[in-house]
């Protein structure tokens, strides 16, 4: 009887090892192109993996719907440039979501884009967040730039 239990335990152990090996092998393989395209179309934050772009924080490459974005804090809770930045985010939320935040809060706080900084009071304590939002509004309203062009300007100005 004891040998039967040992045999069953050994078989179960081998099955567990086999399942773990199969799962780890499938995770190591690159995703097919169709899977990557589907992920991008679902408005997931981008993390650039090219050598020059590794320092670019997270942002949405595909514009998220306005309805999918969480609400931001009321601008009236703040004063000065901070208030103006919170207003800017409310005026152009989809553009702001397509911008990286160079305080690198994507690593420290898990933010998905510059928009995330304004969902709470993080931006109220960060000049980088405020300055990026104000610049984005200015570029969109005055120079009629697209979100991608604004992102290029933000990256050029804040990545140094």
What is the average per-residue pLDDT within 28-44?
38
User: How high is the mean pLDDT of the chain?
Assistant: 81
46 three-state secondary structure: strand
Measured in degrees and rounded to the nearest 5, phi and psi for residue 143 equal -105, -5
Per-residue pLDDT tens over the stretch 112-134: 999 999 999 999 999 999 999 99
Distance CA 80, CA 152 (A): 27
Higher pLDDT, 40 or 44: 44
**pLDDT for the residue numbered 30:** 44
Task: Provide φ and ψ at 46, rounded to 5°.
Answer: -95, 140
- Give me the pLDDT at residue 48, please: 45
What domain count does the chain have? 1
Examine residue 133 and state whether it is found in any structural domain, yes or no.
yes
Q: In the prediction, which pLDDT does 14 show?
A: 64
Residue 15 lies in a domain: no
16 occurs within a structural domain:
no
Q: How would residue 20 be classed by pLDDT, with cut points 50, 70 and 90?
A: low
- What residues make up the domain containing 108? 47-158
9 belongs to a structural domain: no
- Classify residue 7: in a domain, yes or no: no
pTM over cut 0.95: no
Q: Is residue 97 part of a domain?
A: yes
Q: Is residue 14 part of a domain?
A: no
- Does 47 score more than 90 pLDDT? no
Indicate whether 122 belongs to any domain: yes
**pLDDT score of 35 more than 70:** no
The answer on pLDDT for 32 being more than 80 is no
pLDDT one-digit tens code per residue, 54-108:
589 999 999 999 999 999 999 999 999 999 999 999 999 999 999 999 999 999 9
- Spatial neighbors of 38 by CB under 8 A, at least 6 apart, are none
């Amino acid at each position: 009887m004891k040998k039967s239990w040992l045999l069953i335990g050994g078989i179960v152990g081998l099955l567990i090892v086999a399942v773990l090996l199969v799962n780890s092998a499938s995770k190591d393989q690159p995703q097919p192109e169709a899977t990557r395209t589907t992920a991008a179309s679902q408005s997931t934050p981008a993390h650039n993996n090219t050598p020059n772009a590794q320092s670019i924080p997270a942002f949405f490459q595909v514009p998220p719907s306005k309805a999918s974005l969480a609400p931001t804090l009321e601008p009236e809770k703040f004063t000065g440039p901070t208030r103006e930045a919170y207003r800017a985010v409310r005026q152009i939320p989809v553009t702001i979501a397509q911008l990286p935040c160079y305080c690198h809060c994507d690593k420290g706080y898990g933010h998905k884009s510059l928009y995330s900084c304004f969902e709470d009071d993080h931006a109220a304590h960060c000049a980088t967040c405020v300055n990026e939002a104000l610049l984005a509004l200015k570029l969109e309203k005055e120079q009629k730039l697209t979100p991608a062009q604004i992102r290029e300007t933000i990256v050029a100005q804040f990545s140094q």
